[in-house]
Copies of this chain bind each other. A is one copy, B any other.
Amino acid sequence: MQRNGTKNYRPMPSKVRVAVDTMGGDFAPVETVRGALQALGTGYPAEAELLLVGDPGPVQAELAKYDTAGMPVSVVPSEGKIFDDEHPLQALRRKPKSSVMVATQLVKQGQADVMVSMGSTGAAMACSVLSLGLMDGLERPCLGGPFLGLAPNTVLVDIGSNLDCRPGLLLSFAVLGAAFAHTYMGIENPRIGLLSVGAESAKGNRQVQDSYQLFQESHLNFVGNVEGMDFFTNKADVIICDGFVGNILIKFTEGMGGALAGFVRERLDGSVDAAVVERLANDLWETTNRPRIVGGGPLFGVNAPVILGHGSCRANGVENAVRTAVRYVQVGLLDIMRQELAGINNSGARLRASSGVGKAVHGAD
């Protein structure tokens, strides 16, 4: 596995070059092209430049629908895409010119500053790790961010990429999540909580019990175990769990959005103006389906900026993902994460050499 493999990466470019995997996602390339252009069109990241990676025919056809004269947009040709149901590594080998591969290579070769993909998460992760390398001391990348509109300042890591985790891996999530919360979200000295079934240090499954001390000994602002309700109690800014629990929580929340919308429609039917009810139902869906709105978040731990998005995103989600990409580069998050990891590693390389936990295994698929 390549480490520190992106020497050409520029930490603070004057113009952020975003490589967009326009073939990735359920509604690609229609919504990906539209969303990427929206990110420019609103003038928000005036300093951004788009590299639209995809099959030239379909991408050009989409581009032709818009007036892009004078806009910093170019098309970078690729061949085919990787689907969700393909085995990531096998597919990457079979399709070396696929859109996600080409977009990642642009970053690796210094022709882009950040890559955005709404395609297969597994393929994009594997491609990123293999091409761009992991930060020193890490064994796996992870995904995280605020996932709930009702708790917009609470960061959850991991949200699905690592199913069985050793304590050292959980600690790396905490380090990266803390750097993100501080640098990207402006939270001073973020409070880290370990998701468990009780606040006491003895409460938890084997994995949490084995991790508690490691967290406590770290330089992090560890506030101890937190529980399910603590997403709403402001006890922690960054909540750490394995990707199995994180994935279930996120999908549970998303599913609840639809159920809540139906619930308020039924309860308010007839007694409240229909437009008000619809607005409330929509608000409830949005607050529980934040990842679809936000579009995408950083792949933590990879040695160059990569933003992975929700496959079901429409143009607005893609637009937000591109904005996140620009901001990720602008705030210099990558360097800060590297520094934080170095701090942990210098204190004894505890991330990889975790305490006796033969029982918990990492890295499912």
Chain A residues within 8 Å of B, Cβ to Cβ: 150-151, 160, 163-164, 195-197, 202-206, 208-209, 227-233, 241-245, 247-256, 258-260, 263-264, 267-268, 271-272, 276, 279-280, 283-284, 287, 359-361, 364-365
Contacts and interface: CB of A to CB of B under 8 A. Distances in A.
A271 to B, nearest CB: 6
A82 B283 CA distance: 44
8 nearest CB pairs, A to B: A229-B255, A228-B251, A228-B252, A163-B205, A232-B255, A197-B247, A150-B259, A228-B248
Nearest to A151: B259
B209 A364 contact: yes
Contacts of A283: 263, 267
Given A206-B361, A245-B245, A359-B359, A253 B228 contact: yes
Contacts of A359: 359-361
A287 B258 CA distance: 14
A365 B248 contact: no
Nearest to A266: B283
A230 B255 contact: yes
Contacts of A272: 272, 276
A154 to B, nearest CB: 11
A293 to B, nearest CB: 15
A359 to B, nearest CB: 5
Contacts of A279: 267
A243 B359 CA distance: 18
A267 B252 contact: no
Given A243-B197, A263-B287, A163 B280 contact: no
B254 A228 contact: yes
